[in-house]
Structure 1
C-alpha cells in the first residue's frame, strides 16, 4: 500500500460517492474503484459498503479513516519540516565563545538579530577555551566561534571581524605608581608579575614596548579568573578594554596604556565548506555585519 492509496480512501470516505471523489482526485471512477479494492485486499477487511445508490463506511472503515488522516497529516508535516530545514528556517547552531566576546555584547547582538529573523532555530551557546575552540569547529562539534584575535587559522576556517578595541591594564590597588591616575608607561611594568588572559598578545606587546620580557606567573583562563588573581595581588594583567567597563572586582583598578593603542579584534570564525543551510544563514548575517570600533 502506498501513500496515494490513503489519499484515495480519505476522499472517497469524505464524499461517500465514487464519481465525485474521482473528480476531486482527477482520475477515472473505475480506476478509483480498483484502488479502493486493492486497499481492502491488502488489509483483508471491508472498509466501504457499496450499493447502486449509496456508499457507507463500515466500522473498520471508520477506524481506518482516522488513521489514514493521521498518516497524511504527518506526511504533510514532514514535508513542511523538510522544506523549512532546506531553507535553514529550522535547525540548530552550536556556538562557542570566549568571554570577551560576551562582555563586548557582540555575541548577544548577533544571536538576538538572528533569532528575530529565524525564530524557530535553536541557538546553543557555551563558553569554550580559545585554545580548543578552533579544533571543535574543524571537527564539526561547534558551528560558529567568537574568538579574540590574533590567532592562527587553519585553511578550512574563515573569519569575519565584528569588533575592534584596545588593551588596557588591570592592576591591584596598592603601591606608589599604582596610585597615579594617568595612563601607565610600558617601561614602568618591567618588574611586575603578569597574569595572562587567554589572548596574551597584548601582554607581549606591552612588554616589547617597555623593552623587557614579561614575567608571567599565571594563566588561569577566563577573564573573571584573571581579574580575581589581580584582585588578590598576584600580579597585573593586560586585558581587552571591553572587560574594563563591565567587570568590577574589589581591589582592582583599570588604567590606559600610554602610546598608540594596542588593538585587538573579536571575530566570528566558521568552516569554509559549511553545508548546513541553517548555519549558512547565520554565517551570512555575520559576514554582512560591519566592524564596531571601541578605540
Structure 2
C-alpha cells in the first residue's frame, strides 16, 4: 500500500539516483557523504512511499527493477528541471532574463537612438525579450506611471507624473517642411517671419512651431494636428500646409512633394529622451536604465 501521509523529497530522488548510477550502496553513500545505513533507510523510505521495489538486492549485487529504471529516468529529469528553475530564478534576479515593454515616438526611431539602445541592450542581455510599440506621445508618461510600460522613448518637453524621471539621449534641431510647389521651397533658409501667413500642420511635439511663431511675432495659423510625423509629412506633401519637424525626420523620411529647409536664426533645440520610473524594482528594467545613464547628455 502506498504511504499517503508523506511525499517524496529531493533527498529521496538524490539517494535513489546515486544508487542507480553506481549499483553499489557503499559507493553511493560515499558519493553522497552519508553512511550506508542512512542511505539504505532513504531508499527503503522511497520504496515505501511509492509502494514498489526500485532495487533487487543480494549480497553480491544491486539491480534496478523495471519500476526502478523508469523512476531513475524521471527522477533525473526532475532534478535537471529543478536545477534549470533555480538557474532561471537567479538569472532573472540579476536582470539577465525577463521581458520589457517599451513605448516610443516615431522620431526616436528616425534619429537612430531607439535602434542603438536596443542593439546595445540585446548584446548585453540576450535572454531578455523586448517588445516595442509606437504610441501617441502624450500617453506615454501615464502608461509608464501605470506600469503598463517599462520604459518610453519620448521627445521633450513633456509633463511627467511625480514618479517618472528621464534622461536626454540626443539633441537635434527643428527644420521646416514645405510643399514642393510652395514659394518657400525656392528659398534655402527661411526666416520665422516668412511663415506668418502660412498654414501650419503641427506634430505631436509643438515646441518647434511655438518657438518659430514667437520669433516671428505672429500667432500660428494651425490647420491640422494629424499626430504622427509621417501623417504630418503626408499632409505637407498634399499641399495642406507647412510643418516644423525634427531634423532627424528630414534625414530619414523622403516623401514625394516635400522639401525641407533650414530655419534662420539660432537652432531651435529638439531632444530625444528615455523616460522610466524613478524607483523601478524589476531587474530587467533596472538593467536597461543602468545602460541609459552613461549615455545621458548633460
Q: Normalising to structure 2: TM-score of the pair?
A: 0.95
Local SS of the residue matching 1:288 = helix
Equivalent residue in structure 2 for 1:226, among 232, 244, 247: 232
Local SS of the residue matching 2:181 = coil
1:39 CA drift (Å)? 0.5
**Structure 1 stretches lacking a partner, 5+ long:** none
Listed one character per residue, the Cα deviations across residues 135-192 of structure 1 (whole Å, up to 9, x for unaligned) are 11111111110000111111101101000011110001224343222x1111111111
Equivalent residue in structure 2 for 1:197, among 195, 203, 206: 203
In the other structure, the counterpart of 1:135 is: 142
RMSD: 1.2
Cα distance change on mapping 1:188 and 1:59 into 2, 3 Å: same
In the other structure, the counterpart of 2:133 is: 126
CA distance in 1, matches of 2:273, 2:23: 64
CA distance in 2, matches of 1:76, 1:175: 68
The 5-angstrom pairing of residues 1-295 of structure 1 reads 1-181=8-188, 183-291=189-297
Q: Normalising to structure 1: TM-score of the pair?
A: 0.96
Contact 2:174–2:267 (8 Å) recurs in 1: yes
**Structure 2 stretches lacking a partner, 5+ long:** 1-7
CA distance in 2, matches of 1:22, 1:175: 90
CA distance in 2, matches of 1:177, 1:170: 10
Contact 2:198–2:242 (8 Å) recurs in 1: yes
Report runs of 4+ in structure 1 exceeding 3 Å deviation: 175-178
In the other structure, the counterpart of 2:3 is: none
Local SS of the residue matching 1:149 = coil
Local SS of the residue matching 1:256 = strand
CA distance in 1, matches of 2:159, 2:184: 36
The number of aligned residues is 291
CA distance in 2, matches of 1:38, 1:194: 83
1:290 CA drift (Å)? 4.4
1:291 CA drift (Å)? 3.4
CA distance in 2, matches of 1:22, 1:137: 56
CA distance in 2, matches of 1:218, 1:286: 35
Listed one character per residue, the Cα deviations across residues 20-75 of structure 1 (whole Å, up to 9, x for unaligned) are 11111111111111111111011100111111221111111001111101101100
